[in-house]
Structure 1
Amino acid sequence: MKNFLKISLLAIITSCSSADMDLEPLNGPTSETFPASYDEGKMGLFAAYRNLSTIDAASTPIWHVMDNITDIGYARPGTNYTSPITSSITTTNALTIKPWEIHYKTIARCHAVLDKLDEIAGLTAAQKSELDSELRFIRAYAYSQLIELYGDVPLIKSSVTLENANVARTPVAEIQQFIIAELGAVAPQLPISQSQYGNVRASRIAALMLKARVELYSKQYAAAAVTSKQALDAAAGVYSLTPFNASVNYVGKDHTVGEPDPSNIFGHNGFSASKEWIWVAEFNMNVPGYLHNQQYYAASRLGKGVCYWGPTQNLIDSYQMIDGLSIIDSPLYDNANPFKNRDPRLDMYAVRPHSRYLGYQFEPHTSFTKVNNYWSAGAPTQVNNADATNAYRSFSGYLWRKTVDIADFNSTSVSGNSDLNVGIFRLSELMLIYAEAKIESNQLDNSVYDMINQIRLRAKMPALPTGMSQAQLRKALRYERKVELANDGLRWYDIRRWGIANTVMNGYLYLNRNGNNWTKSVITGFDESANPIYNHSQASASFSTQQVVYTPNKDEYWPIPQSEMDANPLLKQNPGY
């Protein structure tokens, strides 16, 4: 849906924004009287939703940035993205500054309406409940992100002035309980679904899912199992997994056959029609500044992009074979054709050599001086292979397919923009939250298998064998989170809360920028979290490497921005910065 916020945001842009009003316009609200009506309250609500969408890096919404500073994704080398993976991030890094600033600005916009709800004339009980519940949900989400990124942060529950702006940091555990209590209170006030608005507004399922996520992240596993079950029960008949479209038949095959296309889930069509999405960040070409340039930064050189982000070899090697075994255990693995018979999500979510992407044959190896252009009518034509020769081609040798909709191809150029929505919550994550909570509570019943197997069967992967131990199910769950939620922006949090960041982010990331051949002998095994273990001497002969460093008791969190430290003397910096 591309028109839900259009009228409201245009009104905000032309008259007020609730948090940025310094003058008193003759035809709109002022900061002294705002909000004076239900309509103005909705303007403030929509401004808060809108504000969440402004957190980006390299013109890419933050949700599609975060996995590219982990073991499964890689960004073009540079200060903003190399420093987080080498334990050298600073207090002035733009990547770490923006989430702090924008989340607190979002919280302030929530308070601009929440603080005055009782003063709005003519507000009905239903209207008050609507504004109250959605604004408190947005505030809870903002705090959930702040504590994951920065740890202890100031917990502000109402508007502040210059006189009381300095607030000390609140312990993470206290904020987690505040979030959990808030979501428990507002969930019953919210409608089960907001699909009529394209899922861009908070629903009861979204509130319960966020509550369950915070409980899971804080290791309150029994509570997370109960909450996520409530959400799943309420979601029955409303939300469902969307089957892959017919292009799944192209996976594991070369470019001559066709192009895998997950847009019925992750593209324009998916956001308008898929029942998998629970909460979505909306973008709109018709509203000034309500855009991003994600496709340009994600796409191949021939696809009019700059290859800014891409999966690592570590992720590519993690994908199982279609028999459910790893590449070192399965008899189906073929060293000469390493992408054949793999988990279909490899090709549906990522772009690898010999496949078709945005209408072109994708080949990072320089031996492919010419590649096929499938956009021309009739037989494909040959074009120069910029994806192998450009100095700024993919730095990992792979690209993300999830984040790009081929429908945008003709409108995307060096200066082009996209209003492709970005998913924040989807049903598959909720199912995995429930499964993980049950596993960690050691409640290994059939419902755990059912949640994981539904996701695997959608991907045309075999169901898990029965009778697995807790450790075996934990490994299976972590595999599913890694591959199903790849580039959804959750891996950064997962590897820290699981306590494995010190392992997967110390040593090397493997990159195949030149599209070299390799054999499975570069891997010696997989660890208990389904991560490949490399024979470095052999792997480095096939792949380029990025050395990564993770410093315990420091890199669990980002630094508080220096500007905030300077402005608020009550703030204390995180350890190690």
Structure 2
Amino acid sequence: MKRLNINKVAVVALGSILALSSCKIDRSSLNGPSTGTFPANAKEAEMGLFGAYQSVSAIDAASTPMWHVMDNITDIGFARPGTNYTSPITSAITTDNALTTKPWQVHYRTIARCHTVLDNLEKLKSTMTEAAYGQLDGELRFVRAYCYSQMIELYGDVPLLKSAVDLNNANVARTPKNEIEKFLIDELTAIAEKLPVSQPQAGHVRASRVAAYMLKARVALYAKQFTVAAQAANTALTLSNGVFDLTPFNNSVNFVGKDHTVGEPDVSNIFGHAGFKTGKEWIWVAEYNMTIPGNTHNQQYYSASRLGKGVCYWGPTQDLINTFQAKDGLPITESPLYNSAKPYENRDPRLDMYCVRPGSRYMGYQFEPTTTVTQAKNYWPVLNGTSTTPSNVANADATNAFRSFSGYLWRKPVDIADFNSTSVSGVSDLNVGIFRLAELLLLYAEAKIEANDIDNTVYTAINRVRRRALMPDLPTGLSQAQLRKALRYERKVELANDGLRWYDLRRWGIANTVMNGSLYLNRDAKPWTSAVLTGFDDSYTPIYNRTEALKYFTTQDVVYRPNKDEYWPVPKSEMDANNKLVQNPGY
């Protein structure tokens, strides 16, 4: 099925659902539509499924898909200071914060759309082949499972609805998180074999067998059921052979560690339009389409540099930049290749492939946040073929009051192909990858490490990710603790800005350490000395010589309160609407 058709049918489906329901499913997060006659046939059921998929893509903050917001309220990413994004990192979030209320609302709305079809699907069983019925049933239950997997990590205990509820039965108590984890693992076990191995004809927007086993592995890993997680991830990897693969970096990897005069690192063949269209890495994708009202986002505008027609809303922290190893695989506090006078040379290529740092080229412009550089190079005359040399422009990335607050920007997932459509009102329909093979490999490796079932497959999984990054293999014979540290490095840098760090900090039990104290930023792009760092802890968090670091870096104070900040608050609007809900501790 073509991308455009999926979205068009989804819009029709949503209209059908609303027309056939006695109550609007967007009205309240726990109020699903009434049973009625929908779906009356297999086609209507499929339309309802497409409506559920489209609803998955509706979750955002600051017009940016939520997946690319979450890392910017952790130690590796920083958002423009403000109530919505500073309060989550200072233990000051409130029950009506838009960042925390939207996931609850959107996920329950999506679950309601699944139930609209699931509650009546049995009536259609005799009209469909067993395989078609099983796949449709399986996809709907997969979407529902994904929503619950997100809800329990964000909020802990949540109401577990297995069918639609009407307004008269909307007061539902919270189900313990461990019960929902068991339900999800059992559900994904039951549906996985009903799904096709992959669905490339749908652009991997629709669920597959690989995606189901991967979600099972993620749920089990987060629940510390390491053997279950390893087995599910292994099954997904076996099914992936010849179907999914890591996409090699393109030739722009030759520009890493070099300045803007050489060229612009580019990962659009993985994280851009081209990557989603032809790449083999993506297992499950949230789809956007410019021709569908409301099915776009403004991510490019919020992420890009001032010269790149953006507003620099998000960016990596100095803590993440310091984390990237030297290209010999050693931390920068140990590698002879590291030179703090030239801190971006001889580093893990992912520093430049995934992040934008001073002196590099980004969106066709020299990126220099330091105020001493008043003019920047504009390479668009060269890119457009109108000149053989770049022109000079006023350096808005240094003079604008709302330039990057961290001193860095994200290179993924922004696509230079969207530059001409990006403006204050510009929108993008760049897809968002939810599951990719790199994460699956790291899920498997982590589950095996934590189960202390260490063998060569653990090294193979991690080294596949490192080799794509042109980094050396891990040394052999590492202990469980050493492998855990290596694994946590890979998750931190490979999955940066994929939206998983917030969860990792909590499930590893390190948020209390990492998110208490200070985050280091370098808004003025000052040079620094090697004395700012003394090493890295067991989770690959930089350890600073604070006295030295404060000579060069600015800081953001962060606060994490145990027995409170593990979860977000239940939205006040939901507490008001459902008298059986009990608020999380500390709110």
Using the size of structure 1 for normalisation, the TM-score is: 0.97
Pairing partner for 2:338 from 333, 340, 346:
333
Where do 1:352-501 residues align within 5 Å?
Answer: 352-376=357-381, 377-501=387-511
Where do 1:180-191 residues align within 5 Å?
Answer: 180-191=185-196
Pairing partner for 1:541 from 545, 548, 551:
551
Specify whether residues 370 and 301 from structure 1 end up closer, same or farther in structure 2 by C-alpha distance, changes over 3 A only. Answer: same
Deviation digits for residues 243-301 of structure 1 (CA, Å, limit 9, x no counterpart): 00000000000000000000000000000111000000000011111100000000000
Q: Does the 8 A contact of 2:58 with 2:106 survive in 1?
A: yes
Name the residue aligned to 1:26: none
Q: Does the 8 A contact of 1:324 with 1:462 survive in 2?
A: yes
Q: Does the 8 A contact of 1:34 with 1:40 survive in 2?
A: yes
Q: Does the 8 A contact of 2:80 with 2:314 survive in 1?
A: yes
Name the residue aligned to 1:7: 8
Matched, 1:81 2:91: no
Name the residue aligned to 1:569: 579
Matched, 1:511 2:516: no
Pairing partner for 2:154 from 140, 149, 153:
149
> Gapped runs of 5+ residues in structure 1?
24-28
Name the residue aligned to 1:265: 270
Q: Does the 8 A contact of 1:18 with 1:44 survive in 2?
A: no
Post-superposition shift, 1:306? 0.3
Post-superposition shift, 1:17? 4.2
Pairing partner for 1:217 from 213, 222, 226:
222
2 CA distance for matches of 1:111 and 1:177? 20
Where do 1:48-127 residues align within 5 Å?
Answer: 48-120=52-124, 122-127=127-132
Post-superposition shift, 1:19? 7.9
Pairing partner for 2:166 from 132, 152, 161:
161
Name the residue aligned to 2:30: none
Larger mean CA deviation between 103-112 and 124-133 belongs to: 124-133
Q: Does the 8 A contact of 1:432 with 1:481 survive in 2?
A: yes
Pairing partner for 1:299 from 304, 309, 313:
304
Specify whether residues 16 and 143 from structure 1 end up closer, same or farther in structure 2 by C-alpha distance, changes over 3 A only. Answer: closer
Post-superposition shift, 1:139? 0.4
Where do 1:234-313 residues align within 5 Å?
Answer: 234-313=239-318
How much is the aligned-residue C-alpha RMSD, in angstroms? 1.4
Post-superposition shift, 1:124? 3.4
Specify whether residues 259 and 18 from structure 1 end up closer, same or farther in structure 2 by C-alpha distance, changes over 3 A only. Answer: farther
Output the amino acid matched with 2:165.
V
Output the amino acid matched with 1:359.
G
Q: Does the 8 A contact of 1:19 with 1:31 survive in 2?
A: no
2 CA distance for matches of 1:127 and 1:483? 40
2 CA distance for matches of 1:261 and 1:476? 26
Post-superposition shift, 1:517? 0.7
2 CA distance for matches of 1:47 and 1:67? 28
1 CA distance for matches of 2:470 and 2:67? 26
Q: Does the 8 A contact of 2:257 with 2:345 survive in 1?
A: yes
Post-superposition shift, 1:30? 10
Specify whether residues 576 and 14 from structure 1 end up closer, same or farther in structure 2 by C-alpha distance, changes over 3 A only. Answer: closer
What SS class does the counterpart of residue 546 from structure 1 fall into?
Answer: strand
Deviation digits for residues 539-558 of structure 1 (CA, Å, limit 9, x no counterpart): 12211110000000000000
What SS class does the counterpart of residue 325 from structure 2 fall into?
Answer: coil
1 CA distance for matches of 2:34 and 2:279? 40
Post-superposition shift, 1:12? 3.1
What SS class does the counterpart of residue 5 from structure 1 fall into?
Answer: helix
Pairing partner for 1:527 from 537, 540, 549:
537
Post-superposition shift, 1:378? 1.3
Using the size of structure 2 for normalisation, the TM-score is: 0.96
Q: Does the 8 A contact of 2:107 with 2:147 survive in 1?
A: yes
Count of aligned pairs between the two proteins:
572
1 CA distance for matches of 2:122 and 2:139? 16
Deviation digits for residues 13-66 of structure 1 (CA, Å, limit 9, x no counterpart): 65544786669xxxxx99732111111111110111111111100000000000
1 CA distance for matches of 2:504 and 2:48? 33
What SS class does the counterpart of residue 424 from structure 1 fall into?
Answer: strand
1 CA distance for matches of 2:239 and 2:144? 23
What SS class does the counterpart of residue 264 from structure 1 fall into?
Answer: helix
Matched, 1:34 2:38: yes
Post-superposition shift, 1:478? 0.1
2 CA distance for matches of 1:169 and 1:135? 22
1 CA distance for matches of 2:437 and 2:14? 33
Q: Does the 8 A contact of 2:20 with 2:38 survive in 1?
A: no
2 CA distance for matches of 1:111 and 1:305? 39
2 CA distance for matches of 1:22 and 1:220? 39
Post-superposition shift, 1:335? 1.6
2 CA distance for matches of 1:13 and 1:506? 44
1 CA distance for matches of 2:512 and 2:487? 20
Q: Does the 8 A contact of 2:10 with 2:48 survive in 1?
A: no
Output the amino acid matched with 1:39.
K
> Gapped runs of 5+ residues in structure 2?
25-32, 382-386
Output the amino acid matched with 2:379.
Y
What SS class does the counterpart of residue 144 from structure 1 fall into?
Answer: helix
Pairing partner for 2:181 from 176, 184, 187:
176
Deviation digits for residues 305-358 of structure 1 (CA, Å, limit 9, x no counterpart): 000000000000000000001111001111211000000000000000000000
2 CA distance for matches of 1:564 and 1:430? 34
